[in-house]
Structure 1
Amino acid sequence: MATASAPLPSANGSPLLADRNCAAGHIDSVFLRKSPTPTDPEAANPQTKPHEESLLASLCSFIEENQIGLSVNLIALLFLTHNFFPRARRRTSKFFHLSYYNPDSEQYGCGTDDLFFVALCVVVFTGLRVFAMDYVLEPLARLGGIGGGKALVRFKEQAWLAVYCACSWSLGMHLIYKSEHALDIHAVWNGWPFREIDALTKWYYLVQWGFWLQQIVVVNIEQKRKDYGMVLAHHGFTCALIFLSYGYYHTRVGTVILATMDLADILLPAAKILKYLGHSSACDAVFGVFMLSWVATRHVLFILVCWSVYAHAPIDIAPGCYLADGTMVPASSTEHYNALGGNEIWTNLVHAYTHRDGAVCSNPTIRFSFLGLLLAIQALCIVWFATIAAIAYDVLAGKGAVDARSEEGEESEIEEELKPSHANGSDKSSYDFAAPLEQEVGVESLTFPRKSSPGVKSYRRASNRTGGRSSGISIPGHGDRKELLGRIGCDKPS
């Protein structure tokens, strides 16, 4: 017989009341990831986990645990190749510089070479996200009294989202303010197609594209949430819209949408950060502002943009084929219009990637395709807001906010972690005081999952997580299999 020790889990509290918690904290429970239930075959027999883990799961685990190392190595490889192999610079320079510069107009065109820059952005965001959370935001959280556990994980995730969205929203609003279509949604269509754009607009658009592609990577390498399908659909719609709007020269309206959606994604994480730091009154105030901003931006301004696609675009963009020399072949010239591909859909949507100097054509089907994608995102916004509004109503009514999709006791566990640091003045979480629980188990019951890769401090280890893919000894019945890497919050449906 062997003796092993496992930490004594902290007790879960009852549903939280409005007078004890910030309203924003309750929507943490809405977007939590699913953990195995006691009836789950995987949970009932954890010894089968190492044998059943697929190659894809192993790859995802390796990438997740080595995000900083992989990013640094890839960037270093590109940099060294660019500097020590001059013959390769024709290709490697596309990763580091904006392509298609026109010295005559001092602007940039759009094309397939821009995909190299987007790929580098994905790599940079992959490493930067984990580095910022582990080495910048975690020390700040501990200075604020958050000792560890789930509250620390939530703080880092929300702080990263708030910082990124604050930067992207500021830059997006700057681009809109200095443009000729500021405060005039009708004007975003005047002069289409916009084959060339200024450097800052292009950089902003490609960086946003890289960020949302990286978000798809995040939700797939981490364990799945209950609303994984909705989150993946949202990210897929967003990336598709950016890809198609860039290829169809609709960067003006795309910038308006991206900047508009960022505001709510600053305020909601900010409210949660205040909640984790123990400032409940400030959290409630920021949460109220968030609710107003969500309605104003995602259900008013966004709908105005959708209406403009339907009503204004066909007025300013007459059906026809627009040539590179500035002339236009109207759709009424049927033979010439069809010869130029006027009725083709996909060819025109990816025009910037395939026929940069050719004719790009407009037709109603393309316009309704964009409108359909925008309305799909609006549908996701409505579903998310309905859940948020229901929880906010329960909080205002003095009821405990419990969502059917959340893990039982998850919010209470975070509250228990915060109590020692904020209520009792200690800088340690409740887990730090847990006494070891001795239990005799048979040697045959011990399993030894594979070790995590050495080197960079992984997000999972920093989060004190002991999921099925973590290293160490697994004792049946005492493994904490709850997923602690869920990105909490309402995602930006730009």
Structure 2
Amino acid sequence: MAAKEALPETVGELLYDEKPSLDNKPYNQIGGMMLPAASKQHTMTRKKTKRKEDGLIATLCAVFVEHQIGISVNLLLLLAMAHILFPRARRRTRKFFELSYHDPTTDRYTQGSDDLYFVAFWIVLFTGLRCLVMDYVLTPAAQWGGVTSRKAKVRFTEQAWLIVYYSVLWTSGLYLMYNSKYWFNLRELWTDFPTQSMAGLMKWYYLVQFAFWLQQIVVVNIEERRKDHWQMFTHHIFTSALIFTSYGFYQTKVGNAILCIMDGVDIALAVAKILKYMGFQTVCDAAFGFFVLSWFLCRHVYYLAICWSIWAQVPHIMDSGCYESKSGVKISLDGGNNIMKNVMHGYRDSGGVVCFNENIRFGFLGLLLALQVITIIWFGMICRVVYGVISGKGAEDSRSDDEGAEDEDEEVEVQGSTFPVQYDGVSRTPSPSQFQRPLEEEVGVEALHFPRRSSSSRRPYKKSNGRSSGISLPGPVDKKELLGRIGCDKPPESD
């Protein structure tokens, strides 16, 4: 037995974009046939598309996404233990758990900067609760509903979570509207300014909505990016700004009305999408038709009616001037020109003087019309879907990215006499000409041994980065797939 050359025992990863090259691989030549060495096992990985570098920020994002539940639970437990074990700290820690600025004589609440502690608590709670419900409740529900694709399961759980959230907050908002003077009465939205005191349910509702939309700014970068990623991101910024400023300027009534007409539409869209992922296309088309009708009526009729009311009715109901925030008594006819000082009044000095002027009116109107521009763009996309339904293609969310083949690496294991290579979807065996540096051995036929591989002995799917960031994810995590989902990796260009 003669050996011309000894080669390394391991191959590592072979990344290629063209036809695979199998140079410098150990094999045995038996007669005119060349086979890989039976005593060694090699792994080859082929990349369908160009690999993108995983930076430190992207890796930290991936770690955060993988540990949302753990991070949230640890923060909440730390806060709870501080509240229990350190009595002196309770005057601070109770602000996270309880609504602040309660007046026991009237059993009503007012606004203040301490409300931001309560908002921070709910942001952390939503982060962990969303992941917990999606992973342990909604993902099994998706499997039970016949959703098999990984991407479809992710979409299903995202939309189902929105249904869970809106079912609680939208019904709470409708309850508040129904028991108010501004139920289908736009003029009452502007009366009794400044409306400083509010019921406990209204305060809870408004602050929880604020926390939800702040958390949605993070979520829009956690979910796999859609084609309208930046429109969605801008929408969440404007919505959060409107909630924050309307709360500080004692305009919770109009905020309640706008949130109600927005949230109901989102429920209809989420239901239609879930029906599609479950394969109920006919019912999905019917639900989509209801969604289109509700979208048009709520976001392009009633919403614009509120904008019109700000333009036409506010000047006759809310006079420019300065008011005592507690009593509502007008003390000055001059409202000045300052915007931010008055809009932030509820956070700065909830018991002092607040002023209203034309700059504030046009500022709120401008933000609402900016949101209307985004919804008009989305309505154009919806019209494309309507055309698809009419033409027989079925309802398809044109905002979503493609649901086709996923960008994944392929791993090929070599053991014994088999050397299959997946290339362009076809399984091929390398020809002898692809081995340029042979290792010759004289082996008798009786000495040949071809070990059998069971499916359970296959090693977990694992990728290797070109460089290490010093942070590893536990378990068989596909980092490329994960980074694509959270938006930390560069999204694929839309068609």
Give the TM-score normalised by structure 2. 0.73
Shift of 1:120: 0.6
Shift of 1:281: 1.9
CA distance in 2, matches of 1:59, 1:466: 15
1:461-481 Cα deviation digits (max 9, x unpaired): 8xxx845275xxxxxxxxxx8
Change (3 A) 1:145 1:186: same
1:468 maps onto 2:480 in alignment: yes
Q: Is the 8 A contact 2:285 2:389 kept in 1?
A: no
1:377 maps onto 2:379 in alignment: no
Which residue in 2 is equivalent to 1:353? 347
Secondary structure at the residue paired with 1:80? helix
Shift of 1:228: 2.3
Which residue in 1 is equivalent to 2:413? none
Shift of 1:178: 0.8
CA distance in 2, matches of 1:438, 1:259: 59
1:296 maps onto 2:297 in alignment: yes
Q: Is the 8 A contact 1:4 1:439 kept in 2?
A: no
Shift of 1:144: 1.5
Secondary structure at the residue paired with 2:322? strand
Which residue in 1 is equivalent to 2:445? none
Bigger Cα displacement from structure 2, 178-187 vs 93-102: 178-187
Q: Is the 8 A contact 1:108 1:198 kept in 2?
A: yes
1:393 maps onto 2:405 in alignment: no
Letter in 1 for 2:92: R
Secondary structure at the residue paired with 2:331? strand
Secondary structure at the residue paired with 2:300? helix
Secondary structure at the residue paired with 1:468? helix
Which residue in 2 is equivalent to 1:177? 178
Secondary structure at the residue paired with 2:53? helix
CA distance in 2, matches of 1:99, 1:363: 29
Which residue in 2 is equivalent to 1:72? 73
CA distance in 2, matches of 1:272, 1:138: 15
Q: How many residues align structurally?
A: 397
CA distance in 1, matches of 2:372, 2:94: 38
CA distance in 2, matches of 1:275, 1:198: 40
Letter in 1 for 2:355: C
Larger Rg: 2
Q: Is the 8 A contact 2:249 2:345 kept in 1?
A: yes
CA distance in 2, matches of 1:191, 1:130: 42
Q: Is the 8 A contact 1:64 1:222 kept in 2?
A: no
Secondary structure at the residue paired with 2:480? coil
Which residue in 1 is equivalent to 2:283? 282
CA distance in 2, matches of 1:103, 1:352: 19
Letter in 1 for 2:345: H
Higher RCO by CA contacts (8 Å cutoff, separation 6 or greater): 1
2:474 pairs, out of 441, 448, 454, with: 454
CA distance in 1, matches of 2:225, 2:479: 13
CA distance in 1, matches of 2:148, 2:385: 27
Shift of 1:118: 0.3
Which residue in 2 is equivalent to 1:37? none
Change (3 A) 1:316 1:149: same
Shift of 1:391: 2.2
Q: Is the 8 A contact 1:61 1:221 kept in 2?
A: no
CA distance in 2, matches of 1:178, 1:78: 36
Secondary structure at the residue paired with 1:357? coil
Shift of 1:412: 4.9
Which residue in 1 is equivalent to 2:440? none
Bigger Cα displacement from structure 2, 118-127 vs 278-287: 278-287
CA distance in 1, matches of 2:204, 2:95: 13
CA distance in 1, matches of 2:254, 2:464: 58
1:344 pairs, out of 308, 324, 338, with: 338
CA distance in 2, matches of 1:223, 1:350: 35
Shift of 1:61: 1.9
1:210 maps onto 2:218 in alignment: no
Letter in 2 for 1:374: L
1:364 pairs, out of 352, 358, 362, with: 358
Which residue in 2 is equivalent to 1:49? 53
CA distance in 1, matches of 2:198, 2:399: 44
Bigger Cα displacement from structure 2, 165-174 vs 122-131: 165-174
1:14-70 Cα deviation digits (max 9, x unpaired): xxxxxxxxxxxxxxxxxxxxxxxxxxxx99652x614xx1x4323322211111111
Change (3 A) 1:61 1:3: closer
CA distance in 1, matches of 2:48, 2:243: 40
Which residue in 2 is equivalent to 1:253? 254
Q: Is the 8 A contact 2:338 2:359 kept in 1?
A: no
Change (3 A) 1:292 1:5: farther
Alignment of 1:116-155 (within 5 A): 116-155=117-156
Change (3 A) 1:165 1:292: same
Q: Is the 8 A contact 1:467 1:483 kept in 2?
A: no
Shift of 1:399: 5.3
Letter in 1 for 2:392: G
Shift of 1:436: 11
CA distance in 1, matches of 2:225, 2:279: 29
CA distance in 2, matches of 1:88, 1:402: 53
Higher helix proportion, which one? 1
Change (3 A) 1:439 1:452: farther
1:190-247 Cα deviation digits (max 9, x unpaired): 1010111100000000000000000011223556544222111100000000000000
CA distance in 2, matches of 1:296, 1:140: 32
Q: Is the 8 A contact 2:249 2:344 kept in 1?
A: yes
CA distance in 2, matches of 1:402, 1:272: 8
CA distance in 1, matches of 2:337, 2:203: 28
After superposition, the CA RMSD in angstroms is 3.1
CA distance in 1, matches of 2:63, 2:387: 42
Change (3 A) 1:43 1:186: farther
Q: Is the 8 A contact 2:195 2:251 kept in 1?
A: yes
CA distance in 2, matches of 1:262, 1:5: 50
Letter in 1 for 2:319: A
Identity across the alignment (%) = 46
Secondary structure at the residue paired with 2:172? helix
CA distance in 1, matches of 2:100, 2:168: 24
Change (3 A) 1:446 1:186: closer
Structure 1 residues without counterparts, runs of 5 or longer: 7-41, 415-434, 456-460, 471-480, 487-494
CA distance in 1, matches of 2:283, 2:81: 49
Structure 2 residues without counterparts, runs of 5 or longer: 1-9, 16-46, 407-424, 436-462, 489-495
Which residue in 1 is equivalent to 2:33? none
Which residue in 2 is equivalent to 1:26? none
